[in-house]
Structure 1
Amino acid sequence: MAEWDQLLQGTLVQWTEKIFGGGYRPEEAVPLCGGAQKEVHRIRCSNGFNFVLYNWDVERNYFREELEREEQDSPISGFGGEAFRDASVFLNSLKVRTPELYHFEPAGATVGAAFAFVEFIEGREASDFFVAEPQLQDRIFEPLAEMVNTMHRQVRTFWGRLQESLPPALSAGCHKPMLPALHRELDYLAEGIPDIHRHAGELARVMEDLAAAIGVRPQYGFIHAELGPNHVLVDKQLRPYLIDLDGALYFDPEYEHSFLEFRFANYGRYFANSRLDPVRMAFYKLNHHLSYAAGAHRLLQRGYPDAEEVKGIMDYNRDQALRMLAEYR
């Protein structure tokens, strides 16, 4: 905490008073859960006001090694302050509820890493309400489902981040550029997890077969790209808020739905969509399980807090990938 004590006495004070005014002096910085690719702290001010500070410092990114080796060639990336800012502004224009963005400062001459001051939502994760009474669930998850549908109804003819103006190769589809990174994740898992090592060749064939069966489509919807229940905060008025918007982009909605399907216990009641492509759903589901197993394994190797929870994530996704393999034999 020494570095935060120093920050609370210096730069953070200056920025806080510049953004909010002289009566707002930061007195405490409390780290919040998550933050594998950015630092997240709740800042308490002298007048009782709280806000959240996001800091995109690559030096503190648990996936720094991959970033510096430029291995993030997958179109889905959860790192980037500018992407967060753009998504926040865009979703606000759609009336999709997200915490208010008070200020965003890009990296540059005055600051070494991009940061943002964001509204603090006093709330609970969406998963806390999975076993609530049906009427209570309806109050939370029906509006959340409409927020998701509103995002996915925003379409354009090429995939990518909001500010990307040059379309990727449309003939390839957005799933094709994911394959090199997915093979690399599989190789990484095979090195450290015996069960994956034994079945790596079969898993690779299933990935390639599914990818080859996916056809090109004419348009792509806007997705959050990591919409688990831990990225939905529910406030005291039972209003859902989407958080961690860094990876949002135009993409196949099946990428989102295949993730929602295994992260939300009530997916069938609120989010199920019969118009989705089942082949894309299967491809992205396998992608999620391999990617999240690999990411969790890396975090365990690099000293990430909450090791028990991270190991649970790794084990679950490993088991799900192997279960999918058994189904495709």
Structure 2
Amino acid sequence: MAHLGVAELADVAHAAYGRELRDVARLRGGSKKGVYRLTLDDGTTGVAYVWRASEDYWPEHEYDPLFGNASGRDLFLTAHTALSEAGMCVPRLVLVDRDVVVVEDLGGSFLEKQLDDPKPLERLWDDVEAMHQRLSPRYGRPSALQPTDAPPIPDVVLKRALGHLEDCSTRVPRIAAAREHLETLLRQRHSLIEPRTRYGLIHGELGPDHVLVADGRPVLIDIEGTMFFDVEWEHVFLQLRFGRHYRPVPGLDPARLALYRLAMHLSLVEGPLRLLDGDFPHRDAMLAIAEHNVERVLEELHAV
């Protein structure tokens, strides 16, 4: 896949900063969008997010309306507003264009390289707790909340997980061999969940690689998956990505955690393997994620 260069982004840089563009570097990540550092003729920099078909590594797929294809300028902007209103720190907007947003460049100081520093990590947990306490009576994207008669979140998660189980069974023989038991386990865990009518604001994919540290403050990036949802969904992901650095919180529903944990692991098998149907370049990393989560899926059979 060809990436953008100075010629393609010169007009964007001029519109954002009124200066000439000297250099462009595509930054890591960005399987659904291009992330580019713009270096101007005076040495200052900015970061451009570009949503174009040429930047999307994902093969064509029938997306579900809630989780599917969490990418695009409009989703980014509504998430930016919702997170800012919740007191979270996000990069400052410099330019909003048709399929490009330019934000301030906060450098490459990712939290994943500073997990042993308690200050930014504790600040993140405080921020996340405050974010999760921002509530809505309906779930969904901040700009497209689901109607009041929408299926309950556990039903949505179960349906999605069963679809992932079906797909994984066609790709991974070990999951195929345990498919019947895994389906039974998903349905059993779902049956134990009590109704809920209040939902917290979540990032949706909050790993330490999606948090920058600027002046000691955690700054959230890759925010397009932001939505009002069961906060247990986010906590399952936080536990997975932060490991021993995760800070538990009281009051989470253990039934939801159990269902969402298995559903999350199935998702992290299905998604990486489907991404590899295309020409995503970092193939070994995706295979490692899928393999790790195959093991975690099968471990769930012995966790009951």
Q: Under a length normalisation based on structure 1, what TM-score does the superposition of the two structures give?
A: 0.86
Corresponding residue for residue 277 of structure 2: 301
- What is the DSSP-based 3-state SS (H/G/I as helix, E as strand, rest coil) of the residue aligned with 2:301? helix
Q: What residue number does 1:47 align with? A: 42
Equivalent residue for 2:104?
119
Corresponding position of 2:236: 258
Corresponding residue number in structure 2 for 1:111: none
Give 1:166 shift: 5.2
2:238 matched to 1:243?
no
Q: Which of 82, 85, 89 is the matching residue for 2:77? A: 85
Describe the shift of the 1:213–1:75 C-alpha distance in structure 2 as closer, same or farther (beyond 3 A).
farther
Q: Deviations over 1:99-143 (max 9, x none)?
A: 11222224xxxxxxx22111222133222223x3xxxx2211111
Structure 1: 5+ residue runs without aligned partners? 107-113
Q: Which amino acid aligns with 1:253?
A: V
Alignment of 1:130-279 (within 5 A): 130=115, 132=116, 137-164=117-144, 167-170=147-150, 172-235=151-214, 237-268=215-246, 271-279=247-255
For the residues of structure 1 that align with 2:209 and 2:226, how far apart are their CA atoms? Answer: 16
Q: Secondary structure in 1 aligned to 2:288?
A: helix
Alpha-carbon separation, structure 2, partners of 1:55 and 1:194: 38
> Does the 8 A contact of 2:120 with 2:216 survive in 1?
yes
Cα separation, partners in 2 of 1:315 and 1:117, compared to 1, 3 Å: same
Q: What RMSD, in angstroms, separates the aligned Cα atoms of the two structures?
A: 2.0
Name which of 52, 57, 60 aligns with 2:55: 60
Specify the alignment match of 1:33 in structure 2.
Answer: 28
Change (3 A) 1:76 1:144: farther
How many residues of Structure 1 are paired with residues of Structure 2 in the alignment? 304
Shift of 1:204: 1.4
Quickly say closer, same or farther: Cα 1:198–1:165, change in 2 above 3 A.
closer
Q: Deviations over 1:218-258 (max 9, x none)?
A: 200000010011111123x3321111000000000000001
Which SS does the other structure have where 1:234 is aligned?
Answer: strand
> Counterpart in 2 of 1:4?
4
Q: Which moved more, 1:90-99 or 1:192-201?
A: 90-99
- Map Cα deviations across residues 37-79 of structure 1 (whole Å, 9 max, x no partner): 111111211111211111122353222411xxx3334446522
Change (3 A) 1:49 1:168: farther
Q: 1:44 to 1:222 in 2, by over 3 A?
A: same
Q: Pick from 89, 92, 97 the counterpart of residue 89 of structure 2.
A: 97
Instruction: Give the TM-score taking structure 2 as reference length.
Output: 0.92
State the distance in 2 between where 1:57 and 1:93 align. Answer: 28
Distance in 2 (CA, whole Å) between partners of 1:77 and 1:274 is 32
Cα separation, 2, equivalents of 1:62 and 1:87: 22
Report if aligned partners of 1:160, 1:167 keep a CA contact under 8 Å in 2.
Answer: no
Contact kept, 8 Å, 1:50 with 1:120, in 2: the verdict is yes
Structure 2 letter corresponding to 1:46? D
* Matches of 1:191 and 1:74, distance apart in 2: 24
Residue 303 of structure 2 aligns to a residue whose secondary structure is helix
Residues 1:91 and 1:158: Cα distance change in structure 2 (over 3 Å): same
Task: Compare 242-251 and 205-214 and name the one that shifted more.
Answer: 205-214
Question: Partners of 1:303 and 1:310 in 2: how far apart?
Answer: 12
Structure 1 residue 181, shift from structure 2 partner: 2.7
